[in-house]
Amino acid sequence: MPEDELSRSSHSNPGKSLVNGIKTNPASNSPKSSLSVPLGPPVYVDLAYIPNHCSGKNTDPEFFKRVRASYYVVSGNDAANGEPSRAVLDALLEGKSQWGENLQVTLIPTHDTEVTREWYQQTHEKQQELNIMVLASSSTVVMQDESFPACKIEF
């Protein structure tokens, strides 16, 4: 089947749906079960926001293998809902270890949480080995009734 026909048939197939841009079987809403999706080349971006407030529901090592960013933003400040997820932070290490190139990566947490602090301390050696820097902010932005750390990113 020619590539353009294959592409059209996959777009018009009502039995497939997309979860985070990955085709999945309607019987399963988990992207982790869609391992039959053929791997394409990785996508390189300057900045990527880790989906769903860094929840483990939608992000696994495959995300970090496919989406290669100079900067990853980690939001999430809801420990009761597992945000940010330690599993996602560990997935960054696992995914980055398979890049085959040691590009600099900067992780930008938007909140200072116990999960990110513990992960940073327990995996610091691995972060250095993989050329991952965790950006800590020394500036604070105050808006209305809320204050939060601020980071300046230059490209």
The three state secondary structure string of 4-33 is HHHHHHHHCCCCCEEECCEEECCCCCCHHH
Q: Which parts of the chain fold into alpha helices (H)?
A: 3-11, 51-54, 61-66, 86-96, 114-129
pLDDT tens track for 107-142: 988 887 888 889 999 999 999 999 999 987 656 778
Tokens found for residue 143: 């808006």
Is pLDDT of 91 > 60?
yes
H or E element in which residue 67 lies: strand 67-74
For the whole prediction, is pTM greater than 0.75? no
Listed in sequence order, the residues at least 6 apart from 139 whose beta carbon sits closer than 8 Å to its beta carbon are: 149, 150, 151, 152
Question: Which whole number is the average pLDDT over 76-100?
Answer: 83
